[in-house]
A and B are shown apart, each in its own frame.
Chain A
């Protein structure tokens, strides 16, 4: 039996495993390998779900009788809550497994935990794990009737976050073909940035820029087909969308920048620095925000900030992904 240590550091290509033999979405592990049509289908379906909160009963019966397990091996508030809310709005039954107090911490292996959850007739696992490739590993080992959704694995991918960001951008800006989008901050440790770059590129974004100190940019980033800047104002010039990222201290090994104060001075977003972007540019952040480190409060709470909208859209997008992964049906 495998243990958590067996999880590979890097995910192998998830291209095939994400679809069933009829080409329908079964697992949602990474943006990588998904065609533009799949991403657009998810965004369109999410758009249809956006009216559900206006109902006095904020539920649709799509996943009635299905059991969804939130399997979070790493802390999360926003992602776990919006996944739970999305599942409940689809009428599924949700179990939140607190791993720190579960059998895994008593020595049970990851696969044993999974097999036990399968024995309880679960239908879907929502997985967050500090190791890159964890969701992919789990998807390879679950029984055929179970779907796995990646809610963030190490530094690899956070595909639902990327799609809710695309949903927010599309709501404000329409088509991606004419857009210039800048991603600012700790690209090196950010699974969100990786998934965003893949999604933006797949959707045909005119220009994707990353802006960060050299120490926070992954090696060979230029091979991703993006523009790299080390000066915030230069990189923000003329952009339609600014995506700020959190400094991920928990993944940093060694000193990658002198101090928070200096980082904010050079890469923190202020109204003054934002003034070189387009006048109607929107400002996004996946949360949680470190005010005064990545961005000034005036920007975070300003008229161009769509940060709270992102949270709301996260529910619709996660409803879309969950319901699409569940439609492999009883006729199989």
Chain B
């Protein structure tokens, strides 16, 4: 198992800097941030605090939008989605920990659109690895990883946040 925890904070800082440029340039005017439960929310909390975004952080639990429900069922958990703002016409920053197949993001996009019609959605991920199964790419990426098919990258947290690569 490889730990790359020392780089995690650095990667989050880089994401923050890049987002700040987009916000200050007016490209993302008055944005609202949403983290995907649970790892995405951990990362989003850090960035949200760092950038001092006024709108409270939203959280999505995409369990009910997954495409593998009938095969895997669901894990009971107390985590309703909470979007404490109107989505309509907002610039949304969607944050997840790892972008792999793209299926989680597909589910998250569908759920967001059930809340309203955002102006734009910017996808931010801490780690992006190969293995995409859908035409989905992130806009801002903390780090790129090329992994073997038997390897998995996972974010552990919330304190401290550390990315780990492990064999499955």
Residues of A that sit less than 8 Å from B by CB: 24, 40-42, 44-45, 47-52, 54-57, 59-62, 323-324, 326-331
The CA-CA distance from A60 to B111 in the complex, in Å, is 8
Do A330 and B80 form a contact, CB below 8 Å, given A56-B115, A57-B114, A61-B64?
no
Contacts of B83 in A (CB 8 A): 54
Bits for B67-79, please: 1 = Cβ < 8 Å to A, else 0.
0011111101111
By the criterion CB–CB under 8 Å, are B76 and A51 in contact?
no
- Identify the closest chain A residue to B113 (Cβ): A57
**Which residues on B are within 8 Å of A, measured CB to CB?**
61, 63-65, 69-74, 76-83, 110-111, 113-116
Q: Is the CB of A62 within 8 A of B64?
A: yes
> B61 to A48, Cβ gap below 8 A?
yes
Given contacts A44-B78, A55-B115, A56-B114, contact A49 B64 (CB under 8 A): yes
**Cα distance, A24 to B72, chains bound together (Å):** 11
CB of B80 within 8 A of CB of A48, answer yes
Interchain CB contact under 8 A, B76 and A42: yes
Q: Which B residues lie within 8 Å of A329 (CB)?
A: 69-73
Contacts beyond the supplied A51-B81, A56-B116, A57-B113: 7 A-B pairs with Cβ under 8 Å: A40-B76, A45-B77, A48-B64, A51-B82, A61-B65, A324-B74, A328-B73
Could you say which of A56, A59, A324, A330 contacts B70, with CB atoms under 8 Å apart? Answer: A330
Minimum Cβ distance to chain A for residue B75 (Å): 9
Least CB distance, B20 to chain A, in whole angstroms: 30
Chain A residues, CB < 8 A from B69? 62, 323, 327, 329
Q: Find the residue from B61, B73, B79, B111 having the highest chain A CB count within 10 A.
A: B73
Q: A50, B80: Cβ atoms under 8 Å?
A: yes
Residues A45 and B74 in contact in the complex (CB < 8 Å), given A56-B114, A59-B114: yes
Report A-chain residues with C-beta under 8 Å of the C-beta of B111.
55, 60
Q: Is the CB of A327 within 8 A of B70?
A: yes
Contact assessment for A44 and B76 in the assembled complex, using a CB-CB cutoff below 8 Å: yes
A137 to chain B, nearest CB (A): 27
Cross-chain contact B71 with A331 (CB below 8 angstroms): yes
**Contact present for B61 and A61 (CB under 8 Å):** no
Contacts of B79 in A (CB 8 A): 47-48
Q: Which of B73, B81, B113, B115 interacts with A327 by CB under 8 Å?
A: B73
**In the bound complex, what is the Cα–Cα distance between A40 and B65 (angstroms)?**
22
In the bound complex, residues from chain B placing their C-beta under 8 Å from that of A49 are: 64, 80
Residues of B within 8 A of A327 (CB): 69-70, 73-74
Chain A contacts for B77, CB-based, 8 A? 44-45, 48
Known: A24-B73, A329-B73. A47 touches B114 (CB 8 A): no
Chain B residues near A62 (CB-CB < 8 A): 64, 69
10 residue pairs from A and B, CB less than 8 Å apart: A41-B76, A45-B77, A47-B79, A47-B80, A49-B64, A52-B64, A57-B115, A327-B73, A329-B70, A329-B73
Which of A24, A60, A323, A326 is most buried by chain B, counting CB atoms within 10 A of its CB?
A: A60
Minimal Cβ-Cβ distance residue in B for A50: B80
* Complex Cα gap A47–B76 (Å): 9
Name the CB-closest residue of A to B64: A60
* CB of A203, distance to nearest CB on chain B (Å): 15
Specify which of A40, A52, A56 lies most central, judged by the most chain B CB atoms within 10 Å of its CB. Answer: A56
Q: Name the contact of A55 in the complex, choosing from B61, B73, B114 (C-beta under 8 A).
A: B114
| List of A residues within 8 angstroms of B64 by Cβ | 48-49, 52, 60-62, 323
Chain B residues contacting A51 (CB-CB under 8 Å) are 80-82
Bound CA span A331–B69, Å: 11
